[in-house]
Each structure stands twice: as structure tokens, then as C-alpha cells.
Structure 1
Amino acid sequence: MTTHNWIDLTQDADTGIETLRAHFKGHAYDPHWHDSYLVGVTEQGVQQFNCRRAKHQSTPGKVFLLEPGDIHDGEAPTEDGFTYRMLYLDPQWLERELSALFEDAPLNSQLSFATTLASDTRLAHAISLAFEALHGAELRIVRQSALDGLLERLTTHLHWRTRYAEDPRMPRVAQKAREYLHANARYDIGLDQLAAATGVDRFRLTRAFKAAYGIAPHAYLVQLRLATARRLLARGELPATIAMELGFSDQSHLGRWFVRAYGLTPALYRKRCSNLPDR
């Protein structure tokens, strides 16, 4: 991490919610995704990112809302950089907690944000209160009250959408390639091997995959491994063990990719989330 960039991250023991406050100048992070719902507020500067085939610019007070699997990057288009605070909400926790406030889920559905970027001062305030309560390790009743306030405001931006078995918006060849990558993420997969599994040549496969998901198959595979590494690190597993399990050549190889995607090292992320000492 460069001297002009910084990250402050903690994890709430009761809910598993990660709270992150960070500042970046220039390039912040490469395209990647999370298994969580991301709910955040830009504090300062212009936070520019690509997501869902569009470029977004979040300015102070704006709320950004990302679903699990939303591929996004980050950069500062202005010299002063940008600062933001964010909550990572576990999907199962969110659905369970919303059950008292939100309509029952239809069959085969999942929670979805109506927009990626919102101007909602009440939601921005609720996010900040929840962030401060969790990040500052306030009394449990204070943390729970702040989260309840956040959930009440979030319901105005959430809806149930059909959980696609096959997304009709995506070419079938791209979906087949994605399924193959998920099933074989720990192996040293070649592009020719992936093309054979989808029944097209490498060039058609790469074009279809990029058109569907915004990144090439090799980049998607790396991000898939990183998302898994992030989960395992939060549980307290060691970076060296994870690197071996997920097909990285060694711990430093995992570390280089992890920093590019998330802005901090695997060891630091593990320490902040698990409170376990390095070994």
C-alpha cells in the first residue's frame, strides 16, 4: 500500500459484518467482486468505479450499493483522491434480519438493489451511524439499534428478483465457462481446456465472456480464487495454506493479487477480521 493510501478495517464479532474506511489516490483496486452486499458512503472526493456496464461517480454524501457478485473497480479521477466508509453485509444475515421488516421472499428469489448509486441523505446517515457503532465497538444494544435503523432505510432500495438458474441476458457459452471455472477454480485451468468444455474456440469464448461479465476468463478465475481466499482468511486460516489450496504458486503470489483487488495484504486482512496472531 502506498503512503497516500490507507485502509482501516474491522469485523463485528456478533454479526460478522466488516466495517471499512479507506482513502485512495489514483488507481484504487482492480476489477473484483465480493460475496457480501456492499453498502457505503463517499465522505470526500470523487469515487469513480465501473459496475453493471456503466461508469459511476460517487461524490460526498452519495450512497453506493453493490450486490454479491457485482464486478467493480475503483479509482480517483481527481488529485485529492477519495475517502469512503463501507459495510460488508453477509447475504444470509441480511435476509434473516429483514424477515421482520420486509415482505416474504418469493420462491427462488434473492435480494437486489434497485440502483448502484443513490442520493438518500437518511440512508447515508443510517450507514454512518451503523459504521460508527460497529467500528467503534459500542455496547451491543447500541450496535443493534444502529443496525435496525440501517435495515429500515435499506428496505426502500431493495426488492426481490428471480434467482436465475440461467440468466437470459448472458450468452450460454459465457455461462457454461463461468460454471466450469467455479467447479474447477482450484486447478490450473488452461484457456484451451475451458474452450473445449464450452464447445467453441478460445477467441470466441474470450469475446463472449468479456461481453457477458466485463473481464476475461483468466481474470475472473483469479477473482474467484481471491473471493474464496477472503472468506478463508476471515475464518483465521493462514495465507500460506490458502495459497496452496487455491492454486496460487506461493503465498507472495496470493499476496500480490490480494493487494491489487482489496488494497491490503492477506495477513493484515486475516488479523483485522479474526484477531488471531500471525504464525
Structure 2
Amino acid sequence: MVPQREVSAWRPRVPGVVEVFHAHFTEYAYPMHVHDAWTLLIVDAGAVRYDLDRHEHGTPHDSVSLLPPHVPHNGSPVTPYGFRKRVLYLDLSRLDETYIGPAVDTPDLVDPVLRRRVGQLHTALAHPGDELEAESRLTLIGERLRGHLRPGARAGKGSGKGAGKGTGTRTRTRTGDDLSHRSYQAADRPLAHRLRELLDERLVQGVNLEEAARLLHAHPAHLVRAFSGAFGIAPHQYLMARRVDLARRLLLDGRVPGEVAAETGFYDQSHLTRHFKRLVGVAPGRYRVSAGMARRGRRGRS
């Protein structure tokens, strides 16, 4: 079977929607990465398995998967035929951080009504001039998602894998800032958060480990262990994932990969291409072309 990597991406004129991303992959597997936006995912063909907060999940029939921002996840096809998916990336104006913890517990929502509504939203987003319809549908989807995630909504069903076993080895907060395990010292938690803040501040210019250790008054190895223990991803993986997210936004605006590489902290275009292809599945140039084709196709239907 010839590997398939087909993508289409664009940014609609709908408040709160950061990106629309459609893809068909067969053999491609996403490595661990993070987004700064919510990932609202439906699978139209095949199935995806993924790890979120160190627990395995999948995409059962008629489900909608909601992956929270800042929480590392990966993804791979379940069968040799791969999967076809449609994704919306939503900013925190649509769903705030108080829902991150519940989404980590139950990211896959088996709800045929919600699944149908998300599909209808994608149809509306593909047609210029239907922004009011899209925004209306997104508002109702947000309301239904909050209904699934609010405290007590899933009472009696447990709070995720490992819940109710009484092991005392796993804890979560409901804010999303501390989705951690007790595999590291509790005193390391503030240090891990300070390093994340530093990486966010230095997203483009970057910071080396020695400088970070000096600024945060910690040993370099201690920094890496604290961050990896708190967030389930190494500092360099976090930084590259955030840079690729930024590159995606600029490419959707029509910027060329060479310029984007310089403006997002990559050494050169080949450096951007290597990390972009690893995290998105296609090279930045191909991603940019697909975005342009999507825009022209929607104008042709208007």
C-alpha cells in the first residue's frame, strides 16, 4: 500500500476557531507534542489510538475527541488503512481552562448528536458567507461540550482510567496547570511551571539549558526531570511543538516557509521542515499549498 498523506488546512473567519485541519494518513504516526489550543477531533474513516496524560485512548464509533491545550499527546492509525479525520483547533475563548482536567479524564465523548453537529459545523466552515451559521453551530457545540465536562456530569462513571482504584499514586487538578503524577517531588512542580513560562517567553529566541538553570536557580538535570515529570514531555519537545504551532498560523496567512522559519525560531528552513513534517505529517511548503487550495476551493463554491 502506498502511504497516504493528504491535508487541507485553513483559518476561517469565525471567532475562536484557530484552524480547520482535514487529513488522511495511512502509515504516519504523530509523536508526543502539545498545542496551545483545544483539539476537537472527529474520525470519518478508520480509527486513531493516542496517549494522553500517560493513558491510552481511542476513537470509538460516533465519538468526538476533545484534547485539551498544554497536555502532551500523540496519535497513530489502528489499521494499515490509516484514518481520515477532521479537526478544529479552538482557543480558550470557546472553552476555558477550567475544563482541562475533566477533558483529560474523559477525552472521548460517545455522543452521536454532538458528532453530527461537529460534522455540520465543518460543512458550514467550508463555505464562505456561512460564518453566522458556523458560529451558531459552534456555540451550541460548546454548550454541549461543557455539559459533558462540568463536575458531576459523569457521576458514577469514574473519572478516567485508574480512578477509584485507591492506589494513591495518581493525582490531577481541575485547572490544567498541574496534570501531573507523583513520579517526581512535589517541590519540583513550581520549578516545572517556571521553566514552562520561560520557554513560552523565549519561544522564538530560545533559551539553552545552562541559561535556564541559571535563571531558575536549579541544576540543568533537575530542570529536565522536573519538567518531564510534571508535563510528560521534555522541554525541547514542548518548545518545538509550540514553534510548529506558530509556524502553522503564519503559513495559513500565506507566508513562505523560509520567512516563517526565521520568525518562529528555527535555524533555517530545513530545520523547520524536519520538525514540521514530524509533527504535522507534511512539509510546510505542502501545508501552505493545501491551505491556498482550500481557500480557492471555498471561493469557487461561494
How does the TM-score come out when normalised to structure 1? 0.79
- Tell me, in whole angstroms, the C-alpha distance in 2 between the residues paired with 1:75 and 1:162: 27
Letter in 1 for 2:146: T
> Deviations for 1:2-50, whole angstroms, at most 9, x for unmatched residues?
7423223233234463322222223322222223222121222230111
1:118 to 109, 124, 134: 109
- Tell me, in whole angstroms, the C-alpha distance in 2 between the residues paired with 1:186 and 1:268: 23
- The reply to whether residue 183 of structure 1 matches residue 201 of structure 2 is yes
* Superposition pairs of residues 52-131 of structure 1, within 5 angstroms: 52-92=53-93, 94=94, 110-112=98-100, 113-114=102-103, 115-131=106-122
Partners of 1:41 and 1:60 within 8 A in 2: no
Aligned partner of 1:10 in structure 2 is 10
How does the TM-score come out when normalised to structure 2? 0.74
Aligned partner of 2:134 in structure 1 is 143
- Tell me, in whole angstroms, the C-alpha distance in 2 between the residues paired with 1:217 and 1:148: 35
Partners of 2:63 and 2:108 within 8 A in 1: yes
- Tell me, in whole angstroms, the C-alpha distance in 2 between the residues paired with 1:111 and 1:27: 30
- Tell me, in whole angstroms, the C-alpha distance in 1 between the residues paired with 2:10 and 2:264: 25
- The reply to whether residue 254 of structure 1 matches residue 272 of structure 2 is yes
Partners of 1:43 and 1:60 within 8 A in 2: no
- Tell me, in whole angstroms, the C-alpha distance in 2 between the residues paired with 1:111 and 1:84: 23
Sort the Cα spacing of 1:184 and 1:149 in 2 relative to 1 into closer, same or farther, 3 A.
closer
Identity %: 32
Partners of 1:43 and 1:61 within 8 A in 2: no
* Superposition pairs of residues 167-206 of structure 1, within 5 angstroms: 167=178, 171-206=189-224
- Tell me, in whole angstroms, the C-alpha distance in 2 between the residues paired with 1:12 and 1:75: 27
- Tell me, in whole angstroms, the C-alpha distance in 2 between the residues paired with 1:189 and 1:141: 43
Partners of 2:26 and 2:82 within 8 A in 1: yes
Partners of 1:110 and 1:163 within 8 A in 2: yes
Give the Å deviation of 1:181.
Answer: 1.5
- Tell me, in whole angstroms, the C-alpha distance in 2 between the residues paired with 1:46 and 1:218: 29
Sort the Cα spacing of 1:198 and 1:129 in 2 relative to 1 into closer, same or farther, 3 A.
same
Give the Å deviation of 1:232.
Answer: 2.9
Letter in 2 for 1:241: E
Partners of 1:180 and 1:197 within 8 A in 2: no
Secondary structure of 2:243's aligned partner: helix
Partners of 1:177 and 1:194 within 8 A in 2: yes
- The reply to whether residue 231 of structure 1 matches residue 222 of structure 2 is no
Unmatched 5+ residue regions in structure 2? Answer: 152-172, 181-187, 297-302
Give the Å deviation of 1:137.
Answer: 4.3
Sort the Cα spacing of 1:226 and 1:139 in 2 relative to 1 into closer, same or farther, 3 A.
closer
Aligned partner of 2:162 in structure 1 is none
- Tell me, in whole angstroms, the C-alpha distance in 1 between the residues paired with 2:238 and 2:89: 21
Unmatched 5+ residue regions in structure 1? Answer: 96-104
Aligned partner of 1:241 in structure 2 is 259
1:216 to 226, 231, 234: 234
Give the Å deviation of 1:242.
Answer: 2.5
- Tell me, in whole angstroms, the C-alpha distance in 2 between the residues paired with 1:43 and 1:189: 41
Give the Å deviation of 1:118.
Answer: 1.4
Aligned partner of 1:48 in structure 2 is 49
Partners of 1:123 and 1:153 within 8 A in 2: yes
Sort the Cα spacing of 1:265 and 1:16 in 2 relative to 1 into closer, same or farther, 3 A.
farther
Partners of 2:7 and 2:22 within 8 A in 1: yes
Partners of 1:63 and 1:118 within 8 A in 2: yes
Structure showing greater relative contact order (alpha-carbon pairs closer than 8 Å, 6 or more residues apart): 2
Sort the Cα spacing of 1:210 and 1:144 in 2 relative to 1 into closer, same or farther, 3 A.
closer
Secondary structure of 1:171's aligned partner: helix
| Range 145-154 or range 34-43, more displaced | 145-154
Relative to total residues, which structure has the larger strand share, 1 or 2?
Answer: 1
Give the Å deviation of 1:163.
Answer: 5.3
CA RMSD of aligned residues (A): 3.0
